[in-house]
Amino acid sequence: MGLLKRDDRYIYLDTDYMEFYIPNEFFLETKRYAVDYSNYIDTFGIFHAGIFEGGKFKEFKVLKQPYTIRVYVYDFENRIVELPSGSESCRVLKYTKGAKVLDSKLIQDSQNALDYFDMLTGGKLPVSIPYDAGIEIMQKMKSMNKVNFGVRTEVEETIIALHYRNPNNLSETFAKVYGADKAISPYDYATADTRSICQYASTFSSLTFEDIDTMLTASINRSRKGGTENYSPVEQIIKM
């Protein structure tokens, strides 16, 4: 991030003041992206940070470490933070210049790969990660954790593209509008979980997924509003 310095054991803050915004959702038993050990937290390393200079807020940054990192705890509070991606209930960790912030060494674990995919397919990756960086982050995650999924890069790119949606029409991928208009910012996307993708895509795809009541309701509403139906090749075969 250009705001830190390191030795062979730790990373220290090298600017006036910084806050880490770890979503409280990370600590839920059902998620377990972060574990609190009182003096430090082991957390999945994709979250926002706030940079302050001269006592004033300067900008947000996003840590792009798709694996478990150890962050040290001094002063903190829980509060709702207005992040670039929207309002988020966060545990706010506070650091002043010279504070020990992180371990230099990576906690290498194949579980990091599972956590990353859980966040991706759950629509939980921070919106402030530019769309173009999606495959870069995945490759970094695999390299740092020595993981190989055994599929071509094109397959991984497709999985990423499907979970980034056009915020003005969730039935479309963000890639469709981003590729057609270079004036669109790489940050102007919405994220969706796998279940929602099926719900938004078409009546056929929604009915092949779980929770039939919700999917029928979504399909009826789409039909009433004249929404787009993205037909599946499988649907065409069945009709034949």
**Of 8, 235, 237, 208, which is closest to residue 105 (Cα–Cα)?**
8
Domain end, chosen from 59, 87, 103, is at 103
Are the C-beta atoms of residues 141 and 149 closer than 8 Å to each other? no
- Mean pLDDT across 123-143: 83
Say if residue 123 is in the same domain as residue 192: yes
Q: Give the predicted TM-score (pTM) of the model.
A: 0.72
Instruction: Please check whether residue 57 is in contact with residue 80, taking contact to mean a CB–CB distance below 8 angstroms.
Output: no
CA distances 76 to 1, 100, 152, 167, Å, are 21, 15, 43, 33
Residue 225 has pLDDT above 80, yes or no: no
**Total domain count, the chain:** 2
Query: Quick one: 233 and 145 in the same domain?
Result: yes
Last residue of a domain, one of 49, 69, 103: 103
Same structural domain, 35 and 123: no
Is the domain of 85 the same as that of 115?
A: no
Residue 158 and residue 208 in one domain? yes
Nearest to 131 by CA among 188, 169, 182: 188
Q: What is d(CA 161, CA 173) in angstroms, rounded to the nearest whole number?
A: 7
Q: State whether 56 and 146 are in the same domain.
A: no
> Does residue 155 surpass a pLDDT of 60?
yes
Residue 95 confidence class, pLDDT cut points 50, 70, 90: very high
pLDDT averaged over every residue in the chain: 82
Report whether 141 contacts 113 (CB < 8 A): yes
Task: Give the residue from 69, 103, 137 where a domain finishes.
Answer: 103
User: What is the domain range of residue 184?
Assistant: 111-239
